[in-house]
Amino acid sequence: MPKPLDDAARKQLADRVNYYRELGIHYFYRREPADLPASSPVPEISAAPPSSPHLDAGPGAPMTLAPAGGEPLLHSPLPVIPDKPAALKLIREEIGDCTRCRLHKGRTKLVFGVGNVNADLMFVGEGPGADEDAQGEPFVGRAGQLLNSMISAMGLKREDVYIANVVKCRPPGNRTPEKDECDTCSPFLLRQIEVVKPKVIVALGAVAAKNLLAIHDSMANLRGRWYDFHGSRLLVTYHPAYLLRDPRQKKEAWKDLQMAMKVLGLKPPAKAPQES
């Protein structure tokens, strides 16, 4: 028998449930391991966090939220907005002039996300930097230029993909966003993912990977495999900012992108991208 929640934990859970309901997330249930095709050409695992609420759904299923070990808490159906731009606009309106976490204090522009609402491929980074904060668009600085190169190496254009971050406001001094900041902001990202419904999500760096998957592991262990994520397939690669600091890892990142290309049916270019 699970231990009953005390008042503080019950209130915290109720606040969180209400918060997710405001975002249109209505199903809450325990995550089950994903069924993945046995014939898959790459190793596959599913994310199964030991604790902490986590989101999961089978292919085509509505997004769900689950306290570990719990039964579904809410059963009302998720409202369906078939018009993707309208759905994203609604999420943006819900965010508003957000002050839900302390990151709003240093914000110039909130960085919502950008790209093709029907994209098969979505990149998720950590949070805005100085350039992104100034322009209100993700990945527009040096790391963004490298991401653009990575995208074109895959045979795509930036306009073909969707790009967003775990947190939408710039952490001061480009520090790593803290857990409570990620927890507060990431439901908006999850709603964006739910609307775009990409076939493949590429988590850029450990912060994106750990927040999406709720797995705390090294990049070495997180990379090189597929995760089932609400009907999308997710893989982890290095953040472009890290690749700028350590260009030797570009080869490894390219291996990750080739995994994505295979699933997306993209033809590899004649030769691998430049190393610098």
Name the residues that contact ligand SF4, by CB under 6 A. Answer: 95, 98-101, 103-104, 110, 167-169, 181, 184-185
- Other CB atoms closer than 10 Å to residue 230's CB: what's the count? 22
Smallest separation, CB 269 to ligand SF4 (Å): 36
Nearer to ligand SF4 by Cβ, of 167 and 202: the residue is: 167
Could you tell me the two tokens for 86? 């309208």
Question: Half-sphere exposure (CA, 13 Å, Cβ side) for 235?
Answer: 25
Q: In what order do the strands lie in the sheet with 114-115?
A: 114-115, 162-165, 121-125, 200-204, 232-237, 227-229
Helix, strand, coil shares of the chain, percent, nearest 5, are: 40, 10, 50
Residue 115, φ and ψ in degrees, nearest 5: 130, -165
Nearer to ligand SF4 by Cβ, of 98 and 266: the residue is: 98
Smallest separation, CB 234 to ligand SF4 (Å): 21
Residues in the chain: 276
Nearer to ligand SF4 by Cβ, of 211 and 237: the residue is: 211
Smallest separation, CB 215 to ligand SF4 (Å): 22
Nearer to ligand SF4 by Cβ, of 115 and 127: the residue is: 127
Amino acid at 5: L
Smallest separation, CB 253 to ligand SF4 (Å): 26
